[in-house]
Structure 1
Amino acid sequence: MQLDQQTRGRVMFGTGPGQLASDAFMMGIDPLKQRAMMAEALDVIVPLLRGETVTARTDWFELTDARLQLAPYRPDGIDLAVASTVSPSGSVQAGKHGIGLLSLAAGDPAGEAALTRNWQVYESSCAEHGHPADRDSWRLVVPMHLADTAEEARGQAEYGVLHLVRYIEGLSGRTMPWGGDAASAVKQWTTGGFPTFGVAILGTPADAIARIEALAASSGGFGTLLLLDLPTGRPEDKRRSYELFAEYVVPHFTGANRRRAASMDWAHANSARFTGAVRQAVENALTEGGAR
């Protein structure tokens, strides 16, 4: 599993049907047609990006011998991914075109419960259309904020959590019972979770490692973890959170410290023998020094 290596220095083209009905209405799109329109758009975007000439006609666009004048910069093209939450529509389209799957709701209990089902749909869709189903191309998205202690992380998250609550209330048209004060909102976010955003990891690097390993186990394995950037702290606290992630969480999963840990374990297991040898060497030196 890679946490920040796979997409470093790369451009990713992400697509999805759109989760906000307000966006659809502003653009004059019927929310009931969004998923079908995404499928129709992918049917032409994917081959265009692969350098093919495309002719297609739908009830909302028409292309005749369409082609791209400029190819993607990288020889292997642009990294493509389809967003998926709880429904399997994203998995179907990602598998159809042989592109990556991006699970936006991995932090949400319902979204996490759907991970295995959505991956199975992705595998089935890949097989149907002759594409390999590669778990390395599967990305899971979670909200996270780290600090040196769990108490610090939760306290720092109080800085911006009510802005997020007001955003959720504005979209849903409902007042959240736990949205009256920051401490209550943080407690809800780390236990029952927020609508759409799910349960946040607010804690230490060790907490993050445990949560990611649990996600890997429940999903059956994935390729990349993406951190959902939210107002979880002041700018300096957010920078420290990413530093902790880079210094402790990433090396755990890349195995960068594996040999160092093995060396420390070996030294600890043989500490009695080493200490005895050093003590004997000092005693011998004192005895020999005294004799001379």
Structure 2
Amino acid sequence: MTPTIALTVLCSALLHAVWNSLAHNANDRLVGFALIGVVDMLGGGALALMAEIPPAGAWPFIIASAALHVAYNLLLLASYQLGEFSQMYPLARGTSPWMVALVSVAVLGNDLPARELVGVIAISAGLAALVCIGGRPTRHDIPALAAALLTGVMIAAYTVVDGLGVREAPLAAYIGWMFLLQGPPIAVLAVIRRRGMLGPALRESAAAGLTGGAISLAAYSMVLWAQTSGALAPIAALRETSIVFGALIGAVFLGERMGARRALASAVVLVGVVLISTG
């Protein structure tokens, strides 16, 4: 990677953590996520209009990716409603590469080199620390932890689908239609769930939702540009610095308890991600 590409990916990682913190802190998180979906829909629609229609072979991947992104957003919303940002965000992001590595061994029968094995152990230790910092989880904590871990499963799933799908269509067309299709469901859900209260909720959450949506699109576009360099593995590893950025945002700006210890555990997860991604 050139210094310019590395700096771009680092900025994207920071922006990803920032838009997630905005979504977490929206006055009405459901409406906040709905507004992010509206921005995704508008941005994806604009991109789809400028690009060619995807070929028939790409549509199953586009539809599957959009559905997985909707599930991801719903689970992320649930985790933010139930838990603290400095714990939920690193858990969700860190679970994905850990799960991909384990599935590659257990299901696909791939070998796990020593470097990647150390990475899996580091991620496992970091995730366990994120779960147990502050004491052994109680029954009350289980829904939040489950939502965050399932969010990581969705990240792993749509990463695999997108990795296959972008081979079937031009990148702009694939991404545009995926964002266009994933945007409306949560917006529709918000309209249904907030009947009679939608106007006030929109006013209270407009800044966080619209800003978060714009930052989300910018962050994703920066990563796509960086990936044109072909340095996919180091870019994927560097992008996960968002794990530490998220924990630090929770500790410094959101004033969450045990934020410093979660930031340290997140750094351990990041070390494991780097070992797996660049192995």
Common fold: TM-score over 0.5: no
Scaled by the length of structure 2, the TM-score of the pair is 0.29
Scaled by the length of structure 1, the TM-score of the pair is 0.28
Of Structure 1 and Structure 2, the greater strand share is in 1
Of Structure 1 and Structure 2, the greater helix share is in 2
Q: Which protein shows a greater Rg? A: 1
